Structure 1
Amino acid sequence: MNRKITNKYFEGERILYGLTDANLNGVTFGQGESPLKEAKNIELKNSIFKWKYPLWYDDSVSIDNTTFETMSRSGIWYTKNITITNSALQAPKLFRRAEKITLDHVHFSDAEETMWTCKDIKITNSQINGDYFGKDSENIYLDHVSIIGNYCFDGAKNIEVHDSTFVSKDAFWNCENVTIYDSTIDGEYLAWNTKNIKLINCTVESDQGLNYIDQLKIKNSDLIHTDLAFEYVSNLDVEVNSTIDSVKNPISGKISAPEIRELIIDQEKVDPAKTEIDCAKIDEKTNHSDLNQLPKD
């Protein structure tokens, strides 16, 4: 039978070290590092963590309606099989080198340097605020998630996103295998140095976004006030519904848009014959080195 701990206040380092098969309800962990280190098969509800390193090297943890206060920083490292629901996560650097993570209806008020080098992550119906979220992590699923903070998912792999919002400079840099559906992305320099990224039914606003990419697919999307796009991008498959402010030096593939205000091709840098431009209107400011590429009446 599981041990039950109810309405308790604990202080002290490693106060419940190695706890196994336990239900905790209404518990507050005050000052003292690593209160639940090396715990296993823990269910925690209606509780508060106030101090550092609460859940290190744990396995099979379920948490509901619980608060991680600011000083519970670096809280969940080297832990696997953890679920957190309906909780307030105030501490930075909260997840590192953890795996099999499920989060639903959580709020990260300071997600700085959080979720680094983790894998098998599912986040739904949640808000995340902070820079450098998700660095070098892999196997990530997001649905109805809002991220406000720069540099999210730098170096991450295998990301699937649905119905989410990103306000983030340098989002999805150095990534592999990113697919984003029905989402909004607002931020400069989107997805540089990434391989295999797809944007389906999305709205993007990005100064100098979507450059230095191999395999970029965009379908039924809007690029709002997006300039100097697709520089040194190879294997383009782009169909957008909006005007693109400017396109610069794409390497290969196809771009389809109702209007490109400025098309810049430098034949010393790229071969214009390798990129098909399907566009009803290209502004007369266009600086295009090969007039044969311009649309004909």
Structure 2
Amino acid sequence: MRKSIDEHIFAGERALFYEQELFIKNSIFEHGESPLKESRDIEVEQSIFKWKYPLWYSKTANIHDSVILDSARAGIWYTDQVRISHTTIEAPKTFRRSTDITLDHVDMPNASETFWMCDGVSLSDVSAKGDYFAMNASNIKAKNLRLTGNYSFDGCKDVEITGAKLLSKDAFWNCENVVVSDTFITGEYIGWNSRNLTFVNCTIESLQGFCYIDGLTLKNCRLLKTNLAFEYCKNISADITTTIDSIKNPISGVINAEGIGEIIFDDPQIDPKNTCITFGRCETCRMPLTR
């Protein structure tokens, strides 16, 4: 039978070490590291975490309508099956090397270096601010994510993002198997050194973006202030509804845009014939015009 604790103040290191099947409500975790270390089947509601490492090496933790303060940093590491909803997480580095994580209606005003090396991350209506978000994580699904922070999703695999707003310089580097749809992105050098990136119905501002990629798909996307794009990028399938300022040294594929300011091929090792570049549309038949 699950035990309940209501209106309690916990202090001291490992206050609830190895506790199991426990419901905690209206409580405060004061000074004292690792209060719920090695816990199992824990539910927390309307409570406050104030100190470091609250959930390490734990399994099955549900946190609802609570607060994890900045001083409770590095809070959830090496933990499996975490559900957090309607909660504010102020602390940085909150998730690391953890699996099966679900966040719903969560605010993360200091999310720097969070979700590192995590697997199985589901985010719904999450607002986050911080650099190096989700580095080397895998199996990520995000809906209505609002992220401000540079170098996000570096080294990630198997990512699905929809309906998001990403203000993130150098996002999606060193990635594999990423699908982003109905999303606004502003972020300079996007997607370098990656494989199998797909963007659908996105608006993207990118200085010298989409370079050194193998397998790039852009469907019905708007590129704003994008120059020197697609350098050393191969297997491109790009349908752009705006003008691209300039394209430089693509290796292979098809690129169609409403307009292209400049096309640059200055690497003698690249054969321009391997990339079909079209722009504009014939007013009579509405078919693309070849360069």
Q: TM-score per shorter chain, which class?
A: over 0.9
Q: For 1:253 and 1:124, locate their aligned partners in 2 and report how far apart those are by CA, in whole Å.
A: 35
Report the counterpart of residue 96 of structure 1 in structure 2: 96
Q: Which consecutive unaligned segments of at least 5 residues does structure 2 have? A: 282-288
Q: C-alpha deviations, 1:126-157, integer Å up to 9, x for none?
A: 10100001000000000000110000010010
Q: Which residue of 1 aligns with 2:25?
A: 25
| Aligned position for 1:154 | 154
Residue 227 of structure 1, CA deviation: 0.8
The alignment status of 1:273 with 2:273, answered yes or no, reads yes
Match of 2:168 in 1: 168
Q: What's the offset of the Cα at 1:267?
A: 4.6
Say whether 1:144 aligns with 2:144: yes
Residues 46-101 of structure 1 deviation map (CA, whole Å, 9 limit, x = unaligned): 00000000000110111101111011001000000010000000001100000000
Q: Structure 2 counterpart of 1:179, which letter?
A: V
Deviates more, 1:262-271 or 1:204-213: 262-271
Distance in 2 (CA, whole Å) between partners of 1:109 and 1:277 is 43
1:1-297 aligned within 5 A: 1-280=1-280, 295=290
RMSD: 1.1
| Post-superposition offset of 1:279 | 1.3
Query: d(CA) in 1 for partners of 2:75 and 2:95?
Result: 7
Q: Kindly provide the amino acid, as one letter, of the partner of residue 37 in structure 2.
A: K
Partner of 2:284: none
8 Å CA contact 1:6–1:26 kept in 2: the answer is yes
SS at match of 2:273: helix
Amino acid aligned to 1:240 = I
Q: Secondary structure at the match of 1:273?
A: helix
AA of the residue aligned to 1:157 = K
Return the alpha-carbon distance in structure 2 between the equivalents of residues 121 and 258 of structure 1. 37
Q: Residues of 2 paired with 1:182 and 1:170: CA distance?
A: 19
Could you tell me how far apart the structure 2 residues matched to 1:138 and 1:69 are? 26
Code of the aligned partner of 2:227? D
* Partner Cα separation in structure 2 for residue 154 and residue 196 of structure 1: 14
SS of the residue corresponding to residue 92 of structure 2 reads coil
State the alpha-carbon separation in 2 of the partners of residues 269 and 213 from structure 1.
17
Identify the residue that residue 285 of structure 2 maps to in structure 1: none
Separation in structure 1 between the aligned mates of residue 184 and residue 290 of structure 2, nearest angstrom: 30
Bigger drift between 168-177 and 260-269 goes to 260-269
Q: Percent identity?
A: 45
The two structures have a TM-score, normalised by structure 2, of 0.96
What is the CA–CA distance in structure 1 between the aligned matches of 2:108 and 2:130, rounded to whole Å? 8
Q: Structure 2: how far apart are the matches of 1:178 and 1:172?
A: 8
1: CA distance between counterparts of 2:212 and 2:96? 29
CA distance in 2, matches of 1:166, 1:57: 31
- Aligned residue for 1:33, secondary structure, equals coil
TM (norm. structure 1) is 0.94
CA distance in 1, matches of 2:217, 2:208: 17
In structure 1, what is the Cα distance between the partners aligned to 2:111 and 2:269?
40
Cα 1:210–1:194 shift into 2, 3 Å: same
Q: Map Cα deviations across residues 250-281 of structure 1 (whole Å, 9 max, x no partner).
A: 00000001100011112514110100011138
Secondary structure at 1:107's aligned position in 2?
strand
The 2-side partners of 1:41 and 1:220 are apart by 45
